[in-house]
Amino acid sequence: MTQSSRPQYHVIVEKDIPSPTRDGLNLMADVYRPDADGRFPVLLSRLPYDKNNRQRPGDIDYFVERGYVVVFQDTRGRFASEGEEYYPPFWEIQDGYDAVEWAAAQPWSNGQVGTMGQSYLGATQYLLAPTRPPHLKTAFPVSASADFHQSWVYHTGGAFEMGWQIPYAILMARDSIARQGLTETLLPTLERALAPPHIAFAPPLTDEAYRQLPLMAWGDVLKPVARYFTDYLTHPEDGPYWWSINLERQYANIDIPMYHVTSWYDIFLRGGLANFCGLRQHAMTETARAQQKLLVGPWAHRFPYTSPSSTDTGDIDFGDNARIELHETQLRWFDYWLKGIDTGIAHDAPVKLFVMGENVWRDEAEWPLARTRYTPYYLHSQGRANSLHGDGQLSAVVPAEEPPDRYVYDPNDPVPSGGGNTLIIPMGVQDQRPIEARQDVLVYTSETLTELVEVTGPITVELYAASSAPDTDFTAKLVDVRPDGYAQNLADGIIRARYRLSRSIAAMLTPGEVTRFTIDLWATSHVFFAGHRIRVEIASSNFPRFDRNLNTGADQATSTHMQTAEQTVFHDARYPSHILLPVIPR
């Protein structure tokens, strides 16, 4: 093993260099390269957020000083690049291929191209990978989706990710509005919906704007500059519209090593985990399968990801260990795959996890962990689990005969979002007690723990419930209750009843019939200490993160009529509702 590249160059900047696409457009790139003759490996990032806003040194100087050319390219229809329409993220497939091959052919390039970047800049990497550009050697995607239907526009359980999709569409429309000369007419209409201050990357909407019905009204307003938003709403089911941007359907077409980075409170957590696991099993070549790496930190979705703070995840400080310099890992990775330097990273453990609670990093051989003991914790009550003041209990004891719990879900008075894996609206850790004080939230809490319990891995809730409505939602949340009562959210999920059997075909409920719902809470890694309690919340809304189920069975995008739903949650010998926790033995 040898040391990674050392800084030895100054930075030369070339602005707005045209990169042609196969259909004749020019996408403009800013090129940052070493002040020396010769050819260097290239690190490509493609973004819709204006390459002129890339801060230095940031993701630029660090690599250029060490012998890389860094290229930032405005995507199609954005800022300096040509293209009449921004339609995310479908064009990134072929445009990404063309950009890689263009970069490889430039006089400052040695033909070895890697990709890097976070969020949408990670999505562009995932989308181009199955096209296999001949000169693409590796990728380092951070915080990006795998299935853009189930973890970008909609959620795994079928609800619309409204909390960030609408304000994000408004943000992205600003440049398109300027291109089309609609600044004085359309822009004020959209920005009136944003909550102040407007200086944020993408401020959330006002409460009135989030409550606007039908949802398609947003599609109508945005249509002149964001036709894609209407198309998103008219395709709530999985199907051919989404398949070309679903990496999970294309793992066998990918032949490069990737280093995946995500985090426990990131809105795209599922993407990093799914892509790591899928490529480890199904990538095209043995090298690609063997050389997938995964790093999962304790953060929320934030910028820049290159040096995450220990205090950027809501209420909590995960300590100094949470601070990492991701550039160092990236350099070791790129030096190995693009320069042939044995930095030792190929022999690092495949998985590096941050275990919250203990706040330590730990190397693992796989994900999920092979030593996991999947342990059910059952819901119990005497029929009065409503709110944290009710009689709901959680334990490993299998229920016998117990009365069910009941609550009324009113779409006009939804349960508010409280942190979690969100974007734009408040992210990360928040005290859940104000939410748990509501009568339409069922709360099940364990006895005080006498020894620590580590939970690391995927989490699901198996819920037996009935509704008076033909369609409704059920939500679940895993919470750590500290000795002082603070209720820390760890993971949550939602299931839209019509998609309980299939994300492709809707199936309405028979009102009053007991039905089994599987709620995917994605994953976490957390230690519950002695003196703490484990808690599970069950409700029917998480607003405004997700759109409200109107309980009618009508089309969610075009309907305005809503009705209340009487919800019944069962937990007895026949219907043993429970959360399945991935317990790691100590």
Show which residues are catalytic.
119, 266, 301
Q: What is the DSSP letter of 88?
A: T
Cα gap 99→124, rounded to integer Å: 11
495 burial level (CB within 10 Å; 0-12, 13-18, 19+): buried
User: What is the Cα 466 distance to its own chain's centre?
Assistant: 30
Helix, strand, coil in percent for the chain, rounding step 5: 25, 30, 45
Q: What angle do CA 571, 576, 579 make, to 5 degrees?
A: 100
**What are the strands, taking DSSP E only, across 271-392?**
292-300, 351-355, 360-364, 373-380
Q: At what angle do helices 120-128 and 92-104 cross, to 10 degrees?
A: 80
Q: What is the DSSP letter of 212?
A: -
Contact 472, 565 (CB under 8 A): yes
What is residue 509's three-state secondary structure?
Answer: coil
Here the tokens at position 520 are 């995917």
Cα gap 378→72, rounded to integer Å: 51
**What are the strands, taking DSSP E only, across 130-202?**
136-142
Torsion from C-alpha of 430, 206, 197, 218, nearest 10 degrees: 120
User: What is the Cα 134 distance to its own chain's centre?
Assistant: 29
**Residues in contact with 522: Cβ distance below 8 Å, sequence separation at least 6, in sequence order:** 156, 269, 270, 273, 421, 458, 459, 491, 493
